[in-house]
Amino acid sequence: MRRRHLPLYGIALLILIVGALALGVPGRSVAYGLVALACPLMMPFMHGGHGGHSGEGERRHLSETNSSGR
Is a pLDDT exceeding 70 seen at residue 6?
A: yes
CB of 17 closer than 8 Å to CB of 8: no
* pLDDT given at position 66: 59
Could you state, in order of their start, the residue ranges of all structural domains in the chain?
3-67
Averaged pLDDT for residues 9-33 = 93
* pLDDT given at position 7: 86
pTM of the model: 0.55
